[in-house]
């Protein structure tokens, strides 16, 4: 694969700027078990699996492709709801960090999907492999995630028993939020959709606002020209192929979110270094006329990972989980009514 000129790489810093919608600051990313099988899920032997967690492979959209599904039973009985998580971009392996990250979801059964091509045990911020970079793009992630959820419409494979009574929340973290409208229909008993550190605008629009915020408009325009050029899809710019950037450029998110019939909760920090406040504000204005409920939680001084200062003492993520737990105790009262403080 041809690598884009180094001066563009240096100028744009897209790994931390233009990738605003896809990078999460604390304990975020996507991961995946490598070898794939087709058909039903089955346990994957992994050493030192945290207590209460299991790992299985789910079929992807293409033969020989599978997604790792990290699953957890409730920490405290009874089970009151289920949570399906779509992580953000990058190559973080969720296995080492998931117990701490999701600790506050006490009464939830969890299913955390992972992209193909990442070591589920890799931990925080590992380098993405060339195979991952070659195959990663939004449309592929959507297709594989949809196939996995279609294969398990409960959507929890054994040992979780089918129970249509338990409401389900679909959670998208950063880039994962960009798949929410297209995957929500695959989740039975859907009670609501949650976006974490994702504004809701089309990715290109939010990226342009971030480039403007940082004074990187020339680099953004160069990327626009590159994705519109005749260069091969496998050309790599800033750690992603042009196939990835072309998907990113034409991906539609805002209108599908506005048209969707389910309650939508958005949680974000106004000290987010990867997504500008203006992006969050623009979608809020659009969502004012949304027919279905829109709950907006702005966390003062919280970053992209919903963490505030001083570190470790203002954890907006665990605060969010506590709000979801409050909703789960009385779901009939309404999603926004229970989640908003």
The tens digit of pLDDT for each residue in 135-185 reads: 999 999 999 999 999 887 555 655 556 566 799 999 999 999 999 999 999
Of residues 312 and 18, more confidence is placed in 312
pLDDT band at 309 (very low <50, low <70, confident <90, very high): confident
The tens digit of pLDDT for each residue in 47-103 reads: 478 888 998 889 999 999 999 889 999 999 999 999 999 998 888 788 999 999 999
Gap between the Cα atoms of 250 and 125, Å rounded: 27
User: What is the mean predicted confidence (pLDDT) over 266-278?
Assistant: 97
Query: What is the DSSP code (8-state) at residue 264?
Result: E
28 has pLDDT over 50: no
User: What is the mean predicted confidence (pLDDT) over 19-37?
Assistant: 31
33 has pLDDT over 60: no
Query: What is the DSSP code (8-state) at residue 340?
Result: -
Sign of CA pseudo-dihedral 96, 156, 196, 242: positive
Cα end-to-end distance, the chain, whole Å? 50
Tokens of 67: 């997604």
Q: Residue 312's pLDDT is what?
A: 66
32 has pLDDT over 60: no
24 has pLDDT over 80: no
The tens digit of pLDDT for each residue in 197-256 reads: 999 999 999 999 999 999 999 999 999 999 999 999 999 998 899 999 999 999 999 999
pLDDT band at 294 (very low <50, low <70, confident <90, very high): very high
Instruction: Tell me which CATH code domain 6-339 carries.
Output: 3.40.50.1820
9 has pLDDT over 50: no
Q: Residue 5's pLDDT is what?
A: 34
13 has pLDDT over 90: no
Domain residue limits, the chain = 6-339
Length of the chain in residues, anyone?
A: 341
Coil, helix or strand for 113?
strand
| Alpha-carbon distance values, 321 to 29, 30, 115, 225, 313 (Å) | 18, 20, 24, 41, 16
pLDDT band at 123 (very low <50, low <70, confident <90, very high): confident
Percent of the chain exceeding pLDDT 70 equals 82
Q: Residue 155's pLDDT is what?
A: 53
Of residues 27 and 106, more confidence is placed in 106
Q: Given the structure tokens 């506005």, which residue do they identify? A: 258
Nearby residues of 324 by Cβ (< 8 Å), 6 or more positions away: 81, 83, 105, 108, 169, 194, 339
């Amino acid at each position: 694969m041809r690598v884009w000129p180094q001066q563009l790489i240096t100028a744009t810093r897209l790994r931390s700027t233009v990738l605003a919608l896809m990078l999460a600051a604390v304990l975020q990313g996507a991961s995946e078990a490598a070898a794939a099988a087709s058909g039903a899920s089955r346990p994957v032997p992994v050493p030192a699996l945290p207590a209460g967690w299991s790992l299985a492979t789910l079929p992807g959209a293409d033969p020989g492709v599978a997604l790792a599904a990290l699953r957890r039973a409730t920490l405290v009985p009874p089970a009151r709801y289920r949570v399906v998580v779509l992580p953000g971009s990058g190559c973080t392996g969720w296995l080492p960090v998931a117990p701490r990250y999701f600790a506050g979801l006490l009464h939830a059964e969890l299913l955390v999907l992972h992209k193909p091509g990442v070591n589920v045990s890799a931990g925080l911020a590992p380098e993405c492999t060339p195979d991952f970079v070659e195959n990663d793009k939004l449309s592929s992630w959507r297709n594989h995630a949809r196939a996995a959820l279609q294969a398990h419409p409960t959507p929890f494979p054994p040992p979780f028993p089918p129970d249509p009574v338990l409401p389900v929340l679909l959670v998208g973290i950063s880039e994962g939020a960009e798949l929410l409208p297209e995957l929500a229909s695959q989740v039975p008993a859907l009670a609501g959709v949650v976006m974490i550190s994702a504004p809701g605008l089309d990715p290109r629009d939010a990226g342009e606002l971030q480039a403007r915020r940082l004074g990187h408009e020339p680099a953004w325009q160069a990327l626009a020209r590159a994705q519109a050029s005749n260069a091969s899809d496998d050309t790599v710019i800033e750690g992603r192929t042009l196939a990835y950037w072309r998907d990113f450029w034409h991906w539609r998110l805002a209108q599908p979110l506005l048209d969707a019939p389910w309650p939508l909760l958005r949680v974000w920090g106004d000290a987010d270094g990867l997504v500008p406040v203006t992006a969050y504000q623009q979608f809020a204005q659009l969502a004012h006329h949304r027919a279905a409920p829109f709950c907006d939680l702005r966390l003062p001084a919280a970053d992209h990972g919903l963490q505030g200062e001083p570190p470790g003492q203002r954890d907006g993520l665990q605060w969010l989980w506590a709000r979801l737990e409050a909703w789960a105790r009385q779901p009939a009262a309404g999603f926004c009514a229970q989640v908003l403080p």
